Amino acid sequence: MADGGVAHALASEMSRDYPLFEKAREINPIIAGSTISQQEQVASPVWRLQTADGTWLVTLERSSLSLEALAYAGRRDFRDRLIQLARVFINRAEPPRFDRFGIRYINRVTDPEILTNLATLVRSEMMAAATLELPEQTTLHHSLLEIQLDQGRHSMLARCGIFPAGTTIDPAIQFQRRISEVGFLT
């Protein structure tokens, strides 16, 4: 799917919205004991299209296409860009099928006032240990709740938590950058 022809056609058609275009290589870290090395996958190019301000990023890989946003005007804004990207991709790549469609939404709250009142804004079941009343001079370092729901061929994984500033539960996500992303796997 991520051959040069499809990537260049996608970049050409989307260049008005995504003027920055680059090719990269996929790198997989290999962890063996206490040694970490990188293995380059030359056969797996990664193509990236990005808005001039860096707010939106499209990534095309061998078996996936994703749309990421740092910020957007609302769900309709994100949806409209996703639909436009999907139409152009399907017209250019003509994938024979889609094996998976996924949406990842990350809502990061950093405002101290909101964090203080979080228990009144989020259902207690989703807060895990964050709602515990702790003894004086006891601080909650982090709290994580992970839920996987399956319904027939469909499944959903949800993670909710409170973490120290500058950390994340998913190392694949740049904590300070990505707000929302959607991916297609073919």
Q: What is the CA radius of gyration of the chain?
A: 20
Spell out the long-range contacts of 92-96 with Cβ–Cβ below 8 A and sequence spacing 24 or more.
Answer: 92/6, 92/9, 92/10, 92/13, 93/1, 93/6, 93/10, 93/186, 95/1, 95/186, 96/186
pLDDT tens sequence across 93-104? 888 888 877 777
User: In 3D, which of 34, 37, 57 has the Cα closest to residue 47?
Assistant: 57
Q: Does residue 109 register a pLDDT over 80?
A: no
pLDDT tens sequence across 131-156? 788 899 998 888 888 889 999 988 88
Residue 130: how many other CB atoms lie within 10 Å: 19
User: In 3D, which of 186, 172, 185, 181 has the Cα closest to residue 58?
Assistant: 181
Residue 131 CB partners (closer than 8 Å, separation 6+)? 119, 124
Between residues 33 and 181, the one the model is more confident about: 33
Instruction: List, in sequence order, the alpha helices (H) in the chain.
Output: 4-14, 75-93, 112-116, 118-121
**pLDDT grade for 178, boundaries at 50, 70 and 90:** very low
Q: Does residue 184 register a pLDDT over 50?
A: no
Which of 49-53, 106-110, 168-172 comes out lowest in average pLDDT?
168-172
Give the torsion sign (CA, 152, 82, 62, 171). negative
Q: How far is CA 168 from CA 29, 70, 77, 80, 142, in A?
A: 19, 16, 26, 28, 10
**pLDDT grade for 71, boundaries at 50, 70 and 90:** confident
